[in-house]
Structure 1
Amino acid sequence: MPFLCDGAVITLQSAVGGSVLAIAIALPVGLMATSRHRGVRAAARVYMEFFRGTSVLVQLFWLFYAMPLLTGFQLDKLFAGILALGLNLGAYGSEVVRGAVRAVPRGQLEAAVALNLSPFQRMRYVVLPQAFVEMVPPMNNLLIELLKATSLLSAITVADLAYEGRLLVNSGSDQLIVFALLLAIYFLLSYLITLLMRFVEGRAARVVGRERPRRRAATAVEAAR
């Protein structure tokens, strides 16, 4: 367990760092994808399609192995892993942001225009608060995918959970026990992400005067009775 706990700390650091970077990229790029300017939309689309259309493992190898050959600068392996995860999942998150913004009812925008709000004010006070509620469930899935993708960092010898587990197996530890512990730890970390995102979703829904889907369904059942 001490070895696996050390690996879990590295996995958690990678997941948190990659998540912060992915969200920081997803929001502006997703908004760029909704721009009325063709050049801005094209730049966002190039980034999104490139990083979604190539393997995160290949991107990781490029950042850690190929970039030093081209630039002469070697990235720290943990930083390279966080960068690869953030760039890859940020592309998927950008599509989530774009879809959530597009899903805001047209009438809300027309009402904001009628109130003489500027484009920035419409985005800040009308569009984003409502779009954020729609972003949370798919973002939850993406963050869990990012957590699981941290296991790829062992390919560049980052001592994460998967790497420590493989070392234990190679040193003669019982494979069944090691892999069962790995499954349990990954599951617990994933469930913590789900609990956190459910809390965020509930708070965001209350801010805009909505109820979460499960609560709306329960209310409808009670009304039918």
Structure 2
Amino acid sequence: MSTLDLIYALLKGLEVTLVLTVLSMILGFVLAFVAGLGRLSKYKIVRTISAIYVEVIRGTSLLVQLFWIYFALPILGIRLPAMAAGILALGLNSGAYGSEIVRSSILSVPEGQNEAGIALNMTRFQRMWRIIMPQAFVMMLPGFGNLQIELLKGTALVSLITLADLTYQANVLNASTLETTKIFGILLIMYYLIAWPMTKGIRWLENRLTVGRY
């Protein structure tokens, strides 16, 4: 097959990879803030639940989590489509790692900022969202940038649960054409081209939010 034919065949899996990446990123972002703030909650039960979620997910393999959601849950009566299983596994994984970015960034804001809010008679909620979170969010961006690239690379694992993403298409092509070097060379370039605007977007947002701060 010509290079153009290989590219066209691989593009069939591009939509699946992009949908997985975007939806998993949204789920992971939400879970990161929920769990990250939960780790800092004044309620012990909330801290405990958040800690269990983070430690279990971080302490186990993404591949095992994916297999467990797709193959083990049906035994318990919960059957998810391959796409939903992939999004859930990737979202849960990125959310657990992202929660530590959220937690550490919030704790990095100088205590004097919180004390200033108390002096202004602000509530705990007002201090968090008007003073602490805007500063912490800027510190979170580099970590979230790295996390979203890791999530993109993690989408390659969904080919193991029959989702026809980029990696799945590459394996099918390789089995039928045996043009391994060319196929996986193109695949590397395609993943890079997806990751490049994501990286640039995070850097642009970081620069925009830090204008006038330093």
- Matching residue of 1:65: 71
Report the counterpart of residue 94 of structure 2 in structure 1.
89
Cα distance in 2 for residues equivalent to 1:203 and 1:108: 22
Q: TM-score, with normalisation over the residues of structure 1?
A: 0.90
* Alpha-carbon distance, 1:48 to partner: 0.3
Aligned to 1:181: 186
Aligned mates of 1:103, 1:37 — CA distance in 2: 21
Aligned residue for 2:12, secondary structure, equals helix
Q: Counterpart in 2 of 1:143? A: 148
Note the C-alpha offset of 1:173. 4.6
Matches within 5 A, 1:89-128: 89-128=94-133
In 1, distance between residues paired with 2:151 and 2:178?
28
Aligned twin of 1:42: 48
Cα distance in 2 for residues equivalent to 1:45 and 1:158: 31
Distance across 2 between alignment mates of 1:167 and 1:22: 30
RMSD of aligned C-alpha atoms? 1.0
**Identical columns (%):** 45
CA displacement 1:26-61 (0-9 Å, x = unmatched): 011101111222222111111100001111111111
Q: Is the 8 Å Cα contact of residues 10 and 160 (structure 1) preserved in structure 2?
A: yes
- Distance (whole Å) between structure 2 residues aligned to residue 199 and residue 54 of structure 1: 33
Checking the alignment, whether the CA contact within 8 Å between 1:21 and 1:86 is kept in structure 2 is: yes
2:164 counterpart of 1:159: yes
1:99 maps to amino acid: S
- CA drift of 1:2 comes to 1.8
What TM-score, normalized to structure 2?
0.94
Tell me, in whole angstroms, the C-alpha distance in 1 between the residues paired with 2:97 and 2:208.
24
Q: Which residue of 1 aligns with 2:25?
A: 19
Q: Which moved more, 1:106-115 or 1:196-205?
A: 196-205
Tell me the distance in 2 between the aligned counterparts of 1:3 and 1:111: 59
Cα distance in 1 for partners of 2:103, 2:128 equals 13
Partner Cα separation in structure 1 for residue 35 and residue 115 of structure 2:
24
Q: Give the counterpart letter for 1:177 in structure 2.
A: K
Q: How many residues align?
A: 208
The one of 192, 198, 204 aligned to 1:193 = 198
Q: What residue ranges of structure 2 are gaps of 5+ in the alignment? A: 1-6
What code does the residue aligned with 2:55 have? E
Are 2:81 and 1:76 equivalent residues in the alignment?
yes
